[in-house]
Structure 1
Amino acid sequence: MTHRTIAGGEPVRVVLAGAGSMGRAWLSTIILAPDVELAGVADIDVGAARSAVAEAGHPDLPVGADAVALATAVGADAVVDATVPEAHHPVTTAALFAGLAVLGEKPVAATLAQALSLAAAAEVTGELFMVSQSRRWNPQLFALQAMAGDLGAIGTLTTEFFRAPHFGGFREEMDHPLLLDMAIHPFDSARFVLGAEPVAAYCEAYNPPWSWYAGAAAATAVFEMEGGVRYIYVGSWCSPGAETSWNGVWRVSGEKGSARWDGDTEPVLDADVQPVTRTPAPYSGIAGALQVFVDALRTGATPMGEVHENVPSLAMVEAAVRSADGGGRVLIDDVLQQAHEQALREETRADVRAALAGWTSVRHALTT
């Protein structure tokens, strides 16, 4: 999708929406980023915004309760949305229609229907909306993806994730804390490593008897990907001892061998192929996502993480949850179609609804 570009010569002026823990991580990242100027910080708790800019050493930065109003007042070019998931849809919609590009935290929205609405809103406005799926911006993951390309046909990709964090708060009360709050990261990374989109999902989620979570803190999911590859995710958020990396432990199994990644160090290729020397990826974490976002605004290129490209990762989560709740295999196209119908029912903007109605196939709309 084409989007508005911003000429060089002056830094891209950004307003940060959200002054919570993730917002403060973004605050320090934006301050240090080249070719970016932090123009203000917004939070519904204006006191939290004031505290955040003061702690960052910039007490004179403009603050406010409404990110779009603040961005308009200070002449910003873009909004970085680090609000809670429930706020992603209203904040991003308002920003796009105010002529602001948006770099948003995952998930793209609280529901898949809202995610489709945001993709349509980006089409209508011609503004860039990119999702910062931060764990995809990992040079080691890029190296694993390159190794997967050396293995010939791929049969299986696996991720094992076992940790035991005591978060407190909302995560410990969720119905599916692992699938809804964490699994989107490896699901998104699996799409990247394989260069393939999901076709179907089967998932069993459960809560071990010692779990301190109210909902299912453990899950096993099997995804059929395009080309017949299987992606298998096994994880638990209540598994003390021998904990894996936060990135999980990965294995790619192909016709010429395998590649393995422990999530923290460089991946290892075990295959009967001549290793190819490649330049390491220059991006890492949210700083890398911000760099790619700014580059896309300058050049007009469609970045990895653009809203249409990111939505299938949320669809994988939705399909896994449906399978876990209802049993049986769930088709991704069915999930997308039902979300599309819901988006049409819920959409309040006539122009966005018209764009959604013009999608003859949701998968086609997302991939073209």
Structure 2
Amino acid sequence: MRLKLIQVGLGNHGQGVGEHFVLASRDFAYAGLVDINRSAVTEYARKNKLPESLCYTDHEQAFREADADAVFISAFSPVHYEIAKSALEHKLHVLIEKPFVLSLEEAEELNSLAARNRLNVMVNQNYRYFATVIALKQTLQSANLGRLSFVQSEFFYGHEGKPYQKTMDNYVLLEMSVHHVDMIRFLLDSDIAQVTGKTWNTPGSGYAGDPHVHAVYQTESGVNVFYLGSLLAKGAATPWEGAWIFQFEGGAVHLDDLGDGYGVYIADGRTKSRIGFQAQELGGIHGVLAEFAASIREQREPKISGADNMRTLAALLATAESSKQGKAIRLIPEG
């Protein structure tokens, strides 16, 4: 039997996620649809042949009245905290879009509330379920190229931000780099111990928060990851996962286009080969929803739990703090 889900946030992004992933899910059926824009939520229901009785404009009312097991928050990031807190207070499991929330204090409060109520909080870091990222991790584990020396990652995209994004702090970090910093932790199986970062703006950009970032993330395992990202890049865009090189003693592993299309490559200075892989049956948000459902049914903590994702959030906020202070920020004590 499918679990019953309330989706909160049915703007353009939420509708896309709902139509392509929630409606296709084998694990969830809608118990409620919520958006403050009445026409948006009713149009979504009409287009997808869902009863209008599922529609709400007030998430509190939906949480009180709908017979549900869980909530999927696809609303914009500044309201994540208040909606997630309300859902947990109504004894509902929570799946929440990245970024989890906007401060570590908010994250800690939600995680504590979930633990007290024996509820799950999971963050939709869906890049961990991309076929390219899974293939890259498998290749890193099997490449047999010796010791890993360093990692370089780049992401460039010319993004026309939404109104809320143009006013928020830490724009590029919380809205985009959150994916790549989480990839660092996932791919290297290591948390970030220290950050030296610089974020900056471009005059006349229209953004209050910085759209550019350069940082060095030192992992707990001792590997330095050099990251450069921009959401205001005017040249050729990289794929969403970015361009990566993992430099080992005996060669390198790339996620990039080295001549045969974007994908995973192994190169040793003389030859290069592209690693073949198959599309994931439950890739991207399909995989996230499946894991969220499994964690509820099995009464266990989900992968990419709120507690786990706090370490990604901490690294992002430390990047901003490093830029303000002009010095490295230590996240994990030495020794």
Deviation at 1:305, TM superposition (A): 1.0
Change (3 A) 1:147 1:47: same
Select 1:226's aligned residue among 214, 217, 220: 220
Note if 1:248 corresponds to 2:248: no
Q: What does residue 286 of structure 2 align with?
A: 287
Q: What does residue 121 of structure 2 align with?
A: 129
Q: Distance in 2 between matches of 1:108 and 1:100?
A: 17
**Mean CA deviation greater in 205-214 or 216-225:** 205-214
Q: 2:120–2:302: 8 Å Cα contact kept in structure 1?
A: no
Deviation at 1:88, TM superposition (A): 1.6
Q: Distance in 2 between matches of 1:44 and 1:159?
A: 38
Render the CA deviation track for 1:116-171: whole Å, top value 9, x for unaligned.
11111121111111111122221110111111223443221221111222235232
Q: What does residue 177 of structure 2 align with?
A: 183
Deviation at 1:217, TM superposition (A): 2.1
Render the CA deviation track for 1:37-96: whole Å, top value 9, x for unaligned.
111101233333222212333243411233353244231111111122222222212222
Q: What does residue 13 of structure 2 align with?
A: 22
Q: Distance in 2 between matches of 1:168 and 1:14?
A: 27
Q: Distance in 2 between matches of 1:261 and 1:316?
A: 23
Other structure's SS at 2:288 match? helix
Change (3 A) 1:233 1:276: closer
* TM-score normalised by L of structure 1: 0.80
Q: Give the alignment of 1:34-45 within 5 angstroms.
A: 34-45=26-37
Q: What does residue 318 of structure 1 align with?
A: 317
Q: What does residue 170 of structure 1 align with?
A: 164
Letter paired with 2:194: A
Other structure's SS at 1:266 match? strand
Q: 1:205–1:218: 8 Å Cα contact kept in structure 2?
A: yes
Other structure's SS at 1:228 match? coil
Other structure's SS at 1:183 match? helix
When the two chains are superposed, the root-mean-square deviation of aligned CA atoms in Å is: 2.6
Q: Distance in 1 between matches of 2:189 and 2:83?
A: 31
Letter paired with 2:16: A
Deviation at 1:237, TM superposition (A): 2.0
Q: What does residue 82 of structure 1 align with?
A: 74
Letter paired with 1:197: D
Q: What does residue 54 of structure 2 align with?
A: 62
Change (3 A) 1:152 1:241: same
Q: 1:15–1:41: 8 Å Cα contact kept in structure 2?
A: yes
Q: 1:212–1:238: 8 Å Cα contact kept in structure 2?
A: no
Q: 1:14–1:36: 8 Å Cα contact kept in structure 2?
A: yes
Q: What does residue 51 of structure 1 align with?
A: 43
Q: What does residue 363 of structure 1 align with?
A: none
Change (3 A) 1:282 1:254: farther
Render the CA deviation track for 1:195-240: whole Å, top value 9, x for unaligned.
0001110011223457454443222100110111111111122221
Q: Distance in 2 between matches of 1:189 and 1:267?
A: 15
Q: Distance in 1 between matches of 2:277 and 2:235?
A: 36
Note if 1:267 corresponds to 2:264: yes
Alignment coverage as a number of residue pairs: 325
Other structure's SS at 2:303 match? coil
Q: What does residue 345 of structure 1 align with?
A: none
Q: Distance in 1 between matches of 2:330 and 2:33?
A: 41
Q: What does residue 97 of structure 1 align with?
A: 89
Q: Distance in 1 between matches of 2:280 and 2:184?
A: 17
**Mean CA deviation greater in 66-75 or 141-150:** 66-75
Q: 1:152–1:254: 8 Å Cα contact kept in structure 2?
A: yes
Q: What does residue 3 of structure 2 align with?
A: 12
Q: 1:16–1:67: 8 Å Cα contact kept in structure 2?
A: no
Q: Distance in 2 between matches of 1:238 and 1:75?
A: 43
